Structure 1
Amino acid sequence: MSDNMIQGRYKVVKHIGQGGMADVFVAIDTILNREVAIKVLRGELSNDPVSVLRFKREANASTLLSHPNIVDIYDVGEYKGHHYIVMEYVKGKNLKQLITQRGALIKEEAVDIMKQLCGATIEAHNRGIIHRDIKPQNVLVMNDGTIKMVDFGIALAQGALQLTQSDSIMGSVHYLAPELAKGEQATMQSDIYSLGIVFYELLTGDVPFKADQAVQVALMQMRNEIPSVREINPSIPQSIENIIIRATAKNKGFRYQNVEEMLDDLKTCLRPERQNEKKNVFSFPEEGDKTVVIEKVKQSGKAEEVQKAKKVKKGGFNPVWLVGILVSLLIVSGIYFLLSISGVLKPSLTMLEVPNIIGMDVTSAKNSLDQLDLILDTTNITYQLTDDTPKGKIISVNPEVGSEISKETTVSITVSSGIAAYIGDYAGMKLSDAKKDLAKYSNVKIILEEEESEDVAPGVIIRQELLTPGMQFNPEVSTDIKLIYSKYTTIVIPWEISDMQIEDATTLLQNMGVEVMLSALDTSTMSDEEMENLRYGVVIQTTPAVGTSYTQEDGSNVVIYYY
């Protein structure tokens, strides 16, 4: 967006990513003083009625949902012809990036993620919403392990009309349920299939089906059995594999009837008594995908059977074969057509996978992409502070790692500008203590400002500005923080405390807001005559001297000398 302020409220900070329809920005909500994410429909799609309807459908679907594992939606609107959604800003990475970086997850972590995903999906289904695009790229992972489901852009309310014929197969083909590949209506079981594929990927580090063309993957989803996760990792118990087998059954009637059933299974799958349970087996090919089988002629010696077999062989033609071939061609053609109009399939292009360049420096990444005839955009690199990635290393890629793209496609990157620091909350703290804490940041300059306050003690910080509590900043860059503190007390040290009893003088000064320190007078250099004039227990002198102006600051005091 050209404007950095939307509706006079949201101050755009930076661009952090893009999807098929929208760009995503980090912004500051200037009213509530919090970071938010803003999803903005791209300009070229603003005049496309279908894109606008899909975008609005995402907004409508998301605002219906309230769940700890679904990103919160704060605001929806249109500004200068740009449709936007304001949502919770989740710091972290998406699940696909996590899998790319770490590979297969341990089974306990995978089960925990799946339980959270199921909880989010149950919330959507209970509201009558089918997600239709559940995949790791649409799952954000927070630093504490909490996951957040996002992107309801192609979600569909049960019973609602589809926008286009291709709407039924808009989801990513690697997670696409077989019935959607055939162009059938999405159901809750379609989301359950996608959950099963995600579970498989969490446990193995990869999707079950891969091919050069999307149509090939779609056919595999329809025809091929899901590879066994236990053959890849024998330490995975049968109880876990059974969940994947049931969730990804080709016949949706064999799948879990709702996500609650799948969640219940996940809650008990790690129990010792379930580790070696019997393996789930469903008939394959299943109903709806029956294959015509021509039986071999039995060696019975019966002339009639042999003659029938000879007739079939001699004729060289069997109408059953022709029907099978025609049906197969129609299925392949139908899938190819549906994938083409949905944008999933891009014919006549050699597709490549975006390599994993996360963690590389820019030079190394460019060399890797050059070898694949891909173009690294070095003129528009986004720099971003991170919690753990050293400066100069790549932290994210667009399109994402593992995405299928054609040669000569431009790849954008986000690079770490350093490891972030987070500013503390100094309100209510003594100014001297705040200064000590900030001393660890050599590049942070402290700006002080006094303010009269009846509620806050002198020398105590009322509030801070420029760097507000919890704000992320780069400790390697010069940064200002303003500390507004309650004005110190300024007095004139009264003349009358001279020769006053030290207890009375101390009380008088303390009542004036002054800190007092008592110190015995050093008489080692005094003459006998001077000593004779001294009186016990009274104020001999003060520092600063009586009659002078004194400001009570943190750590300062008036010294009373006595004999």
Structure 2
Amino acid sequence: MLIAIGTKIGGRYKVLGLIGRGGMANVYLARDLILDRDVAVKILRFDFQSNKEALRRFKREALSTTQLIHPNIVSVYDVDEDDGLQYIVMEYIQGRDLKKFIQEKGQLSLEDVIHIMSQILSAMALAHQNRIIHRDIKPQNLLIDSDNVIKVTDFGIAIALSETSLTQTNSLLGSVHYMSPEQARGSIPTIKSDIYALGIVLYELVTGKVPFDGESAVSIALKHFQEPIPSVRAERPEIPQALENVILKATAKEPHDRYNSCEEMSQDLQTSLDDSRLQEAAFTPEVMLDETKVITPVKLEGNDLPKTENTDQVTDVRKSQKKPRKKRIVWGILLILLLIVTGGSLAAMITNNNPDLIAVPNVLGVKEEKAREMLLEANFTIGEVYTQYNENAEEGSVFKVDPEVNTQLAPKTAINLYISQGVEPFLIEDYSGQPYSDVRKELVKKGIQVEREDVYDSLDEGLIVGQSLESDTEVIPNETTITLRVSLGPETFTMENLSGYTREDVERYAENYGLKLTIKTEKSEEVAEGLVLSQSIAAESSFYSGDSLEVIISEGMPQTSTETEKPKPEKPESQATESSSESKTEEPEIITFTKKITIPYLPPEENSSETDSESDSPDVDNEEELKASNHIIIYMLDSDHQLTEVFREFDITEDKEVNLNFRIYSDQPGAFIVERDGINIMEETNLID
């Protein structure tokens, strides 16, 4: 049973689609409605919800991964339960898993192999330091983006699966290719089980395929502890023996022969392509160097033999089985004796020819002072001491000796030491004006975590306009996060209809949006004095901050004639009476006046009770982001406007004063109506100066 698209998990995460299915959990793409970002939500399958042990393990393991903060580990944001559904909210990675990457790319270059594998080992080293064993390392649980940055995911899920039902064979099939021999035998997984799986992943990166395959999970599991790992050099002869040795040591059958830690494996991998290791001998597990043990043959009872009706046939079968077996035993004993004699002779020859040779002690990872003491005690002298940056060795410790460890040398031979200065610091540059994608790719390669902040700016879209770390700052890459502010291009705005604005209103509007304002005046019979007559940027069109805006303000009615100022001649009484009667039919007088009103702002919590019931307010540092605007529409009636037409329309986030400039006839009063979010909040009629 799957979660329906559109479902809200925890009242916060809206399901957008299914990303993938697992043996125990399904993963969905969801939208975090509070932080407005995509996340991956892993939900425990319904058939596991009633299993108390699976629930306990799922939650415990999920919570433990929240402490794993590493650039190559998928971040866990939240662990919770919703109506009985256990879920984990994780970072959403836009990319593909390593399995698909290998299938698409085939055989990778050795440099890419080491780059990818080093990231995985770095992530797993942190997990092991926190006493967390992955238990299910495989390419399907390793995500990779377009910059070849790895993200390890699915920590701790496999252990819950292993303790539920043994019928989940199909679920285990994807993991059995990477299962260590001890896990195949049913033993408890350890750190070295993870290292074995990492060795199989490295094998697959190099060759493009897994070392063991078969028709069933059982047959593959048997091969892990019965058959040797196939040679990668047989697949790719150009691979140096040193790199194959890393695979052989990581995938040794006995945990004792494997690397003790991911740091040790990573250090060996980093130098596997060095010229100094070109003549390296093939790795041989210590258990193969132990004294050969004779295993007592298993005796077959009569009942174990094939049953036939003919007694003679039974006798023939027994004879045919005994003869080859006796021959094999005899030849085996002769071969062992030959090896013992030959080996003893060779050892004697080496001892006689080089009676005083001693092995260089293993001082790798040891502090310089202690390493000097060990070499002097072994009867060597100290040669040159070099200090170099090395990200895989602790500062002040030895990461290399020349000649190498275990080399047989004469006493008093000088041993050169290479001392780590730790991780090489990285110098932050000024990235202003550079493309974000290029800078991010370069910084990620150095191990620096990059975060993006989008801003509007005059620079072209995609260019960097600022950064959280100043230039010329030295940082340790794996411990550093830098925020790059990236241009979205200039911000566009929508021009309001400035009709009805006064000069003061226009100047304030231009200042708010950074417009270059030019004001002109003209006589007008249609628009009242002091109000906007026209504007150069049309209403509802887009503009940028810094654009030029020309506004024409009305000067009012033009004077029709100067003759009205001259004294009029006296009229006869009859004419005066006639004139008096004519004056009664003249046009009414035009009256202009200003009505100042204050439009109150209504906060969202008072405006809608539904908002509170549906979702909680997010935590936002900037209180302005919490404010919801009120949409205001003003209707006005005078000689120039009708109540059926919108006079002004705008949004407010606080109380706003507005001047309404009326031009009315003396016998026709004015009126206005104010709507806030579609509700009439102010109305006045019969307005006369």
Category of TM-score, reference length = shorter chain: 0.5 to 0.7
Q: 1:218 — aligned with what? A: 221
Q: For 1:491-510, what aligned pairs fall within 5 Å after superposition?
A: none
Q: Percent of counterpart pairs with the same letter?
A: 41
2:23 to 7, 20, 26: 20
Residue by residue, what CA displacement relative to the aligned partner does 1:98-155 show, whole Å, maximum 9, x if unpaired? 0111112111111111111111111111111111111101101122211111112446
2:177 to 158, 174, 187: 174
Q: Distance in 1 between matches of 2:146 and 2:81?
A: 32
Residues 176 and 221, structure 1, Cα contact 8 Å, conserved in 2: yes
1:207 to 205, 210, 221: 210
Q: 2:135 — aligned with what? A: 132
For the pair 1:558 / 2:550, whether they are aligned, the reply is: yes
Q: For 1:12-51, what aligned pairs fall within 5 Å after superposition?
A: 12-51=15-54
Aligned with 1:192: secondary structure? Answer: helix
**Cα offset, 1:230, TM superposition:** 1.1
TM-aligned CA distance change 1:509 to 1:195, over 3 Å: closer
Q: Distance in 2 between matches of 1:197 and 1:511?
A: 65
Write the letter of the residue equivalent to 2:550. Answer: V
Residues 542 and 558, structure 1, Cα contact 8 Å, conserved in 2: no
Residue by residue, what CA displacement relative to the aligned partner does 1:273-332 show, whole Å, maximum 9, x if unpaired? 2234222123676879977388xxxxxxxxxxxxxxxx99979999x99xxxxxxxxxxx
**Cα offset, 1:271, TM superposition:** 2.2
Residue by residue, what CA displacement relative to the aligned partner does 1:372-416 show, whole Å, maximum 9, x if unpaired? xxxxxxxxxxxxxxxxxxxxxxxxxxxxxxxxxxxxxxxxxxxxx
1:261 to 264, 273, 293: 264
**Cα offset, 1:181, TM superposition:** 1.1
2:195 to 189, 192, 196: 192
Q: 1:93 — aligned with what? A: 96
Q: 2:235 — aligned with what? A: 232
Q: 2:144 — aligned with what? A: 141
**Cα offset, 1:54, TM superposition:** 3.7
Aligned with 1:114: secondary structure? Answer: helix
Residues 455 and 487, structure 2, Cα contact 8 Å, conserved in 1: no
Q: Distance in 1 between matches of 2:235 and 2:26?
A: 38
**Cα offset, 1:549, TM superposition:** 2.8
TM-aligned CA distance change 1:486 to 1:210, over 3 Å: same
Aligned with 2:263: secondary structure? Answer: helix
TM-aligned CA distance change 1:259 to 1:427, over 3 Å: closer
TM-score (normalizing by structure 2): 0.45
Residue by residue, what CA displacement relative to the aligned partner does 1:406-435 show, whole Å, maximum 9, x if unpaired? xxxxxxxxxxxxxxxxxx9986468xx99x
Aligned with 2:206: secondary structure? Answer: helix
Q: Distance in 2 between matches of 1:78 and 1:104?
A: 43
Q: Distance in 2 between matches of 1:206 and 1:288?
A: 35
2:73 to 49, 60, 70: 70
Q: 1:549 — aligned with what? A: 533
Aligned length: 359
Aligned with 2:143: secondary structure? Answer: strand
Q: Distance in 2 between matches of 1:508 and 1:132?
A: 65
Structure 2 alignment gaps of length 5 or more = 298-318, 330-451, 462-485, 538-542, 553-689
TM-aligned CA distance change 1:135 to 1:312, over 3 Å: same
TM-aligned CA distance change 1:34 to 1:509, over 3 Å: closer
**Whose radius of gyration is greater, 1 or 2?**
2
TM-aligned CA distance change 1:90 to 1:292, over 3 Å: same
Q: Distance in 2 between matches of 1:491 and 1:206?
A: 75
Q: 1:104 — aligned with what? A: 107
Q: Distance in 2 between matches of 1:193 and 1:542?
A: 89
C-alpha RMSD of matched pairs (Å): 4.5
Aligned with 2:17: secondary structure? Answer: strand
Q: Distance in 1 between matches of 2:186 and 2:216?
A: 18
TM-score (normalizing by structure 1): 0.55
TM-aligned CA distance change 1:116 to 1:508, over 3 Å: closer
Q: Distance in 2 between matches of 1:105 and 1:210?
A: 21
Q: Distance in 2 between matches of 1:313 and 1:43?
A: 55
Structure 1 alignment gaps of length 5 or more = 295-310, 322-423, 438-468, 472-481, 495-506, 519-538
Residues 46 and 82, structure 1, Cα contact 8 Å, conserved in 2: yes
TM-aligned CA distance change 1:264 to 1:516, over 3 Å: same
TM-aligned CA distance change 1:426 to 1:227, over 3 Å: closer
